Amino acid sequence: RNHSASRFALLVMGETALMKEGSAKHGPGVAKSNSFHAVGPHHEESEQEPATAHEIQVNELETTENETKKDATECVPATMLRVFAYFLIMASGVGVQYTFGVILVQLQEAEELKGERASLLAIIGSTSTGTMELSAAIAGLCIVRLGERRTSILGSVIAVSGMLLATAAREPWQLILSYGVLMGFGHSLSLFSGVVLINKVFTKRRGIAQGFGTMGSGVGTMIYASVIPKLSESIGIWHTLQCLAGLTFCISIGGSLLFTIPSPPP
């Protein structure tokens, strides 16, 4: 009993001293609050105070500054160089795809394919364009794993390999597999790498950047459509495809090397 009485007396003395200390510093109301937090069985933490007007203003200024920096990044020469790289990819890849009508005429005149139906040879171009568009999902997965630059380089190598294999083909089914499937898949990897990169680099001027880059397909189509017939008459369709493969390799690899996100200006 004496031991219990001594513990009770010590608790009362400690509570009294705590209340006096709180009253001396902050007033009686705070002393009660301190006493409650000191001896209360369940301590409930106070809710976090809402952000002040100054903090909100600072956050808004930081957001505006980040947007300004991003807008400035879209105007630097390094960023515009990415648009030109996308332009080259479109010109070399899609330009070849869209001029198959000219190539078809030359294939019909080739000695190795004489007597083949035009409808069968036309499947080559349809397969190539269809594979390029249908492989968009696979291209997206490759971009996620490898990045835009590596995916575009890989696509360029595959497309050029398909064109070179087509120069050794002498049967329609061989051209369908090489020029159609293989080249179309390679162009798909390069094409959609450029699309994804432009969407990452640009926000405010994204539409303009995509428009200038896509112009490459039209420029490439007009150039190839005027060059292929004359070149084919001089050296033949198979050597013409070899020249196209070499030209595609140089242009597409050069453009793919620029498929990186530029650093923001200081």
**Distance in angstroms (rounded) separating the CA atoms of residues 18 and 26:** 12
**Res 246 pLDDT > 90:** yes
* Predicted pLDDT at 46: 46
* Residues sharing a CB contact under 8 Å with residue 115, sequence separation 6 or more, in sequence order: none
> Tell me: the pLDDT tens digits for 2-50?
445 555 555 556 556 556 555 555 554 444 444 444 444 444 444 455 5
* Predicted pLDDT at 32: 46
> Tell me: the pLDDT tens digits for 65-98?
454 444 445 556 777 888 999 999 999 999 999 9
CA angle 94/142/187 to nearest 5° reads 15
Q: Which residue has the higher pLDDT, 156 or 70?
A: 156
**Distance in angstroms (rounded) separating the CA atoms of residues 158 and 178:** 10
* Predicted pLDDT at 41: 46
Per cent of the chain over pLDDT 70 is 70
**Distance in angstroms (rounded) separating the CA atoms of residues 53 and 57:** 6
**Dihedral in degrees, nearest 10, Cα atoms 30, 33, 34, 39:** 160
User: Of the ranges 202-206, 252-256, 257-261, which is most confident?
Assistant: 252-256
* Predicted pLDDT at 264: 56
Report the mean per-residue pLDDT for the chain: 79
The average pLDDT across 226-248 equals 92
User: Of the ranges 22-36, 100-114, 184-198, which is most confident?
Assistant: 184-198
Closest CA to 125 of 104, 145, 151, 150: 104
**Res 221 pLDDT > 80:** yes
**Res 57 pLDDT > 70:** no
Q: Which residue has the higher pLDDT, 109 or 70?
A: 109
The average pLDDT across 233-253 equals 92
